[in-house]
Structure 1
Amino acid sequence: MRTPLGESGLSVFPFILGGSEFGWHVDLESSHAILDGYLELGGNAVHTSDSYAGGRSEHILGQWIHSRGLRDEVVVSVRVGGHPEHPGLGPVNLVRAVEASLTALRTDRIDLLYLDGGSDRTTALEDALATVQWLVEAGKVRAVGAFGFTAPQLVEARILSSAGLPRLTTLDVPYNLLRRTDFEGDLRLVAGAQSIAVTPSQTLEHGFLAGHHRSRSRVGASVRGAQLAASINRRGTRTLKALDALGAELGVSDAAVALAWVLAQKTVVAPIVNVYSPSHVGELVQGVGVKLGRSQLAELARAAA
């Protein structure tokens, strides 16, 4: 099962396996087990960033791709701009970031390079895209996407692409049942008008929508605990109850229903989903096969309002 990723020339499984937990909450052995499980169930696209777990995520992913001999079978996407050693999207740091990622990933190319627009408010978009053009021509990058971009920036990028610079073909924006305002508005309108493929992240709201850690007493004082605790309120509880009810009706997990809801939204092509254990991969693959009806979608939206 493959879906064309907009006009990037790439085709991916309906959800992209995110690697933000690799090297942080998930060790190397477990990370490789998750990746193996995803591959066995039909997955072919992975996502990481040079800033995830201080760069350990890229190394773990690179070890897996190299040891399995899978480079030509896997679509690799990388977000750059947030690493402290080469921050932002200026020409020198952007090239250094890509070269460092290529080394860590043990590969000669990045299939989809996401530019972190929120990491740099000073570099002109034209300069960043001109650098990407050089990287594409050098064979180091195949396609380019955006993260942290505003609707006006997407419009500006399209104007620049008409002048010959690389076109932004994908958009990563945090989006899920509980986090909708960032995307549902001008950003979605512009993405739709430009045929940009949306690959939203935070699909499960740090694991909360998968039904993990339902009470404040269990979330702890870690960074993840704080992220989860932010959702433990009346709205979050209502949403989990709606996911529970629909999941029981369909015979799938809360995570599968939450993923199916995102997949049903206009312009969304393949959400980026971070996974914490091999067993979660199977739950998410169930969500790919779930087609929610209009009334079910509306019921979930009401619960999360």
Structure 2
Amino acid sequence: MEEDIKQQIHYKIKIMDRIKISKTDLEVSRINLGGNVFGWTLDEQQSFKILDTFVGAGFNFIDTADTYSWWVNGKGGQSEIIIGNWMKARGNRKDLVIATKVGSETKEHGFDISKKHILKSVDESLQRLQTDYIDLYYTHFDDEKTPVEETLSAYDEIVKAGKVRYIAASNVSPERLIESFEVAEKNNFPKYVALQPHYNLLERTKYETAYAPLVEKFGLTVFPYWSLAAGFLTGKYRSEADLKKSVRGGSVSKYLNEKGLTVLSALDRVSAKHNSTQATVSLAWLLAQPHIGAPIVSATSESQLQTLFAAPKLKLDSEALEILQRASK
């Protein structure tokens, strides 16, 4: 039975357009599936279905973290366990690019990118994922106190040990990011190859002013998180009453203002023109921006996945891009 499932999944796979992450040999699909919902709003069986459909459509890039979903049990690990069980059941590890993270806060500890914590956490992630290596390992959050040399020396050790192929950065300040490259160059430590920032049509300023110049300077590939602004850019939240539609409703209330509604109006206009959806257009806008490799997006249903799958195929014209740029300033 298990072998039949593997064959069915393999048979369905279609090779999609892929890009190479800067300064690596990793080729990834233009959508990065977010694993934060696995073990949170989706149980293991539901998660397997989403993962099967994602990979069956030709996509290969999955993002998770050691602390997903710590808000459920206080420590996390559920998402990695589910992905690990799924990869073992399907026998498809070699066909995937798996990204996970270290350094986030839980109820048990604060932000931590000390060498001791990294060396302990990477082994725990490998065990949960049931794999020998992690393709892309992120500094999830900077604790702002561990010396950069210490963090990078830990990465150097686990890269040389074959546990991690490449490292990347998420919530690291511009100053510490610059310092990381300087220290890596001086000590011949691994350098970050990618950046995972908070970036979407409603959150542009910080990335475009503080990080985009560094992305250009250091040749990073960018994988934005909260690409759909916690679901607001799907267009389903347009009033206070709409916030009750999902468990994530409370996190989008800050967008129910003039700017948020202006962006939704622009998305309505562009999606109608292209016979598409607001979510697909939002992701297509991101994909049209410089250095963007693949937006990170989660999905809890087949219909949501189809919306994501459509984004790399949608090429927005200059008029559509201008409408969205103007509305989201």
Alignment TM class, shorter chain as reference: over 0.9
Amino acid at match of 1:190: L
Partner of 2:7: none
The answer as to whether partners of 1:78 and 1:114 remain within 8 angstroms in 2 is yes
Among 36, 39, 47, the alignment partner of 1:31 is 47
Partner of 2:29: 13
Is 1:154 the counterpart of 2:177 in the alignment? yes
The separation in 2 between residues aligned to 1:27 and 1:253, in whole angstroms, is: 27
The separation in 1 between residues aligned to 2:153 and 2:196, in whole angstroms, is: 21
TM-score by structure 1 length? 0.95
Among 220, 235, 238, the alignment partner of 1:211 is 235
Shift of 1:283: 1.0
Aligned sequence identity (%): 35
Among 91, 99, 112, the alignment partner of 1:69 is 91
Shift of 1:187: 0.9
The answer as to whether partners of 1:176 and 1:262 remain within 8 angstroms in 2 is yes
Paired residues for 1:88-107 under 5 Å: 88-107=112-131
Deviations 1:158-211 (A, max 9, x none): 212222010100000010000112201131101111111111111000011112
Shift of 1:222: 7.6
Shift of 1:128: 0.4
Shift of 1:139: 0.6
Among 193, 211, 224, the alignment partner of 2:248 is 224
Partner of 1:80: 102
Between 26-35 and 13-22, the greater mean CA deviation after superposition = 26-35
Between 271-280 and 257-266, the greater mean CA deviation after superposition = 271-280
The separation in 2 between residues aligned to 1:222 and 1:247, in whole angstroms, is: 23
Shift of 1:278: 2.2
How many residues get paired? 304
The answer as to whether partners of 2:88 and 2:130 remain within 8 angstroms in 1 is yes
The answer as to whether partners of 1:49 and 1:57 remain within 8 angstroms in 2 is yes
Shift of 1:223: 6.0
The answer as to whether partners of 1:49 and 1:78 remain within 8 angstroms in 2 is yes
Deviations 1:211-257 (A, max 9, x none): 23332113139862211222122221121121122111111111110
Q: Larger relative contact order (C-alpha < 8 A, sep ≥ 6)?
A: 1
The answer as to whether partners of 1:173 and 1:182 remain within 8 angstroms in 2 is no
The separation in 2 between residues aligned to 1:22 and 1:228, in whole angstroms, is: 21
Partner of 1:113: 137
The separation in 2 between residues aligned to 1:197 and 1:24, in whole angstroms, is: 29
TM-score by structure 2 length? 0.88
The answer as to whether partners of 1:50 and 1:83 remain within 8 angstroms in 2 is no
The answer as to whether partners of 2:236 and 2:242 remain within 8 angstroms in 1 is no
Partner of 2:59: 43
The answer as to whether partners of 2:198 and 2:224 remain within 8 angstroms in 1 is yes
SS of structure 1 residue aligned to 2:237: coil
SS of structure 2 residue aligned to 1:184: helix
Among 274, 287, 291, the alignment partner of 1:267 is 291
The separation in 1 between residues aligned to 2:93 and 2:246, in whole angstroms, is: 35
Deviations 1:256-305 (A, max 9, x none): 10000011111211111122222211111111011112221120122223
Among 159, 164, 187, the alignment partner of 1:136 is 159
The separation in 1 between residues aligned to 2:35 and 2:246, in whole angstroms, is: 19
The separation in 1 between residues aligned to 2:296 and 2:284, in whole angstroms, is: 13
Partner of 1:60: 82
The separation in 2 between residues aligned to 1:157 and 1:273, in whole angstroms, is: 27
